[in-house]
Structure 1
């Protein structure tokens, strides 16, 4: 199978695909009455008043907003793994998923960026679980659809390479 050689495309696709898992967890939780809102509801609240979030167009806007954020987080993961490598990808994915949860549901929501306001702990615990699953799934998909060459940095490491630093220390000791 041909693997994707473009970081941006591989990242966006992995984020969008993993968002299906997140949406599924949140939708099931809301359907069974465990939570009050989903990530799509929260995303719609970035743009709309509370009375319009649950309308058909509001749900569409929420889906588009949530999916766009998921794609962007996939791109972020792709570039992060270019720098750090794809080893421990599940832990890296979990970290990005949980960072996005704390940013979106903690920082941005408390600053008033969305009009949806659940105060139910179950809603936030479910979204934490869904974002954790999203992050791990995104990383798994990314390392499996992307060409392994995109995870190798194409720049020299910061600092001096070992051979250069060894020869520089020899020169400085000879000059003393």
Structure 2
């Protein structure tokens, strides 16, 4: 098994790999017309008009923005697990992403910083579910491929 000793790289890897899985699920539900927007559209809408979020430049910006946030969340979860220990790692990862979900979807989008503010049940339920998955997968990856908590490296 590969052990990643660098905490920042571990967080980036965990958040990025988890976000790949979550993004595929998000896109599947979008294609099934369950949600009106994917994460990339919402992220892109901070920089582009809502009518332009489906364009290639907007999707590129949305993808980079979304994966940057996922990587940051991964780094944050790594440090929380290293400081507090890996007991209940799933719960700790879950809390981190849910706080960010509440902040982004409950505050940032309502302040109209992004031009898309999803209010339909399908989009909100899918995105809440995918954020839960992001936290669980990220924390699992960190526990599996990281070094033991509080170990000096």
Which TM-score band applies after superposition, normalised by the shorter structure? Answer: over 0.9
Count of residue pairs the alignment pairs up: 152
Question: Could you report, residue by residue, the CA deviation over 1:3-47 in whole angstroms, capped at 9, with x for unpaired residues?
Answer: 111111101110011001221221111100011011111111121
TM-score, normalised via structure 1 length: 0.82
The 2-side partners of 1:126 and 1:2 are apart by 32
Aligned match of 1:21 = 21
Dislocated runs of 4+, deviation >6 Å? none
The 2-side partners of 1:131 and 1:34 are apart by 16
Aligned match of 1:96 = 96
The 1-side partners of 2:4 and 2:140 are apart by 14
**Pairing 1:33-48 to 2, within 5 Å after superposition:** 33-48=33-48
The 2-side partners of 1:112 and 1:85 are apart by 38
**Pairing 1:6-155 to 2, within 5 Å after superposition:** 6-148=6-148, 151-152=149-150
Shift in alpha-carbon separation, 1:140–1:47, aligned structure 2, 3 A: same
The answer on whether the counterparts of 1:15 and 1:73 sit within 8 Å (CA) in structure 2 is yes
Which 5+ residue runs of structure 1 have no aligned equivalent?
155-176
Q: Which has the larger radius of gyration?
A: 1
Shift in alpha-carbon separation, 1:31–1:108, aligned structure 2, 3 A: same
Greater CA deviation, 94-103 or 13-22? Answer: 94-103
The 2-side partners of 1:99 and 1:10 are apart by 21
TM-score, normalised via structure 2 length: 0.94
The 2-side partners of 1:98 and 1:152 are apart by 24
Quote how far apart the aligned CAs of 1:82 are. Answer: 1.4
